[in-house]
Structure 1
Amino acid sequence: MASILRKLFRRKKQPPLVCAVNLDAEGNPVGEHPDHVHTDACFISFEPLAVAELFQSQSCQSCPPALPGIHAATADPNVLLLTYPVTLFDHTGWKDTFSSLTNDARQRAYAKRWARTSLFTPQVVVNGVADGSGRTKEEIQQIIQQGRDIQKARDWHIYVDANDTEVRVDTDKQEAPPHEVSLVVYANTDQTVKVGKGVNKGKKINHRNVVTSVTKIGDWVGGNGTWFLPTPRSALAPDQGAAIIITEGGLGGPIIAAAKI
């Protein structure tokens, strides 16, 4: 398994041209043949899923102009955007309709870990290790790349997979500090809110993948492992999405692996 994981994570090839396979007299492939010519189509190129956590507020004057660009830049299938509306500006005349103290705690955990003395929105955090405001598409792309680079520098080969009832981790990392394995449930349809008061009065703010719950289902300390989901994936509503994230040291720590389920 370890050798397979190394191939998945390390083998980076250019786009495929052709992959030649000999045919028999009836036109059927004859399988692996001494004359078989390998091209990039024969190999797997694997880019781990990056998790982009967006902290936003309906009463943040900077959010409405920034959100469309953030949504566009994180539309890549290999990037999972998770939105955590916070109460940071609820006192300014309009209470965010999705905000929660739980989301506040998540944002503050990052600030504490990074020894910061202030909070801001919008804030995009990638893989729990890189962040910025996401004011431009270029900035978001830089944050995503930085988050990927820091994750890759660990040289840990971790593959997360899930079926309807359980989650499995396969890895060649046999020992690791405690990591939380969590199930994140979110609304997988966009939701638009028209702000009634405050600095954004009258503006329509789009929300994408708003997180509704984060549930710890176990701890990973290295090696392969399997954990049962609290409820079957099939029990979720059609407008709900779910993902597994593995976080070092719990809230505010680096996200070392993730998978949509």
Structure 2
Amino acid sequence: MIRHLQSALLFLSLAVPAFSAQAGELRGVVELFTSQGCSSCPRADAELGRLVEEGDILALSYHVDYWNYLGWKDTLSDAANTERQKGYARTLGSASVYTPQAVVNGRDHANGGDDAAIKALLAGFEKKGMGLTVDVGLKRSGDTIDVTIGEMPAGGDAAGRAEIVVAYFDKANTVEIPRGENRGKRITYHHSVRNFEIIGMWSGEQMEIKLPRSVLGEDGQRGCAIILQRMDAKGRPGAILGAAMLASGEAG
């Protein structure tokens, strides 16, 4: 469930000294909306896994809950994921939601199993200067997870304010599906989002947020990603301006 992180869990400071920026390390963000109960999704789930392996795309998988009535309840589904997809539908002017849907940089969408279409969107946004234009850094430092966000680039696409979203995800989950449209299949899901929350607001200035290491779970094996994203007045997601990822196992 999306929620605002309690102020006791983070410390915020502005005008931070120079830090190691990560702009350019990630080419873009691909958010796949999928379901274990959707027969069209396994190809997209595999495609997301390939994007994860390539390493230069923040690839996240959001399991929706609206196919759970088809004989199998998705073990990774969450109503909050469905609401995020519906928010994108309204932002992008779509009349309905579907799976598998890949939303690219919060700006456009394609069939999640269409590798060529996804990469064409990523390349097109880069060419137009609509990629990840704001520096975002994410690293472990002792007992904290340090989030650093750079300044608004001169003449860039980052005018105005944006919200800072953190998504917590599992590296991989392999699921045996005994019922429903994918019955009998054993599918591995990559970077499945288990929770996401808004932790602050960016107004174009350099800033830092410190999260407690405990957000990565007791064993430190949960990954997290920071997404700098515009939201409309109703909280619906829009263009993504910057992102960084700390994969499970990097929390050390």
Written as runs of structure 1 = structure 2, the 5 A alignment for 1:152-191 is 152-153=129-130, 157-164=133-140, 165=144, 166-173=146-153, 176-188=159-171, 190-191=172-173
- Deviations along 1:41-78, one digit per CA (max 9) or x if unpaired, are xxxxx454411111101111101233223422453211
Q: Deviations over 1:158-179 (max 9, x none)?
A: 2112343332212244883221
For the 8 Å contact 1:130–1:146, the answer to whether it is kept is no
Partner of 2:99: 121
Counterpart AA for 1:63 = C
% identical aligned pairs: 30
Q: How many residues align?
A: 216
Higher strand share: 2
The CA deviation at 1:234 is 8.4
3-state SS of the aligned residue for 1:135? coil
Residue 59 of structure 1 is matched in structure 2 by 37
Match of 2:62 among 67, 70, 84: 84
Residues 96-245 of structure 1 correspond to what in structure 2 (within 5 A)? Answer: 96-149=74-127, 152-153=129-130, 157-164=133-140, 165=144, 166-173=146-153, 176-188=159-171, 190-229=172-211, 231-232=212-213, 236=217, 237-245=219-227
Comparing 232-241 with 192-201, greater Cα deviation is found at 232-241
Matched to 1:209, the amino acid is H
3-state SS of the aligned residue for 2:75?
A: coil
Q: Distance in 1 between matches of 2:191 and 2:82?
A: 17
> Does structure 2 conserve the Cα–Cα contact (< 8 Å) formed by 1:186 and 1:240?
yes
Aligned partner of 2:230 in structure 1 is 248
Q: Secondary structure at the match of 2:195?
A: strand
What amino acid sits opposite 2:69 in the alignment?
H
Partner of 1:39: none
Distance change in 2, residues 1:198/1:214 (3 Å): same
Q: Does the 8 Å CA contact 2:164/2:198 hold for their aligned counterparts? A: yes
Q: Aligned equivalents of 1:82 and 1:235: distance in 2?
A: 16
Task: Report the TM-score, using the length of structure 1 for normalisation.
Answer: 0.73
Residues 191 and 206 in structure 1, CA contact (< 8 A), matched pair in contact too: yes
The DSSP-based 3-state class of the residue aligned with 2:53 is: coil
Alpha-carbon offset, residue 91 of structure 1: 1.4
Given that 2:161 and 2:202 are in contact with CA atoms closer than 8 Å, whether structure 1 keeps it comes out as: yes
Q: Is the 8 A contact 2:51 2:57 kept in 1?
A: no
The CA distance in 1 between the partners of 2:29 and 2:63, in whole Å, is 16
The answer to whether the aligner puts 1:257 opposite 2:235 as a matched pair is: no
8 Å CA contact retained: 1:157, 1:171:
no
- AA aligned to 2:150 is D
Q: Distance in 2 between matches of 1:234 and 1:112?
A: 31
Q: Give the match's secondary structure for 2:174.
A: strand
Equivalent AA in structure 1 for residue 229 of structure 2: T
CA distance in 1, matches of 2:222, 2:100: 24
Say which SS state the counterpart of residue 200 (structure 1) adopts.
Answer: coil
- Give the AA of the match of 1:159: D
SS in structure 2 opposite 1:219?
Answer: strand
Matched position secondary structure for 1:146: helix
Unaligned runs of 5+ in 1: 10-45
In 2, are the aligned partners of 1:74 and 1:81 still within 8 Å (CA)? Answer: yes
What amino acid sits opposite 1:259 in the alignment?
A
> 1:192 deviation in Å?
1.3
SS at match of 2:169: strand
CA distance in 2, matches of 1:140, 1:114: 16
Q: What value does the CA root-mean-square deviation take over the aligned residues?
A: 2.7
Q: Which has the higher Rg, Structure 1 or Structure 2?
A: 1
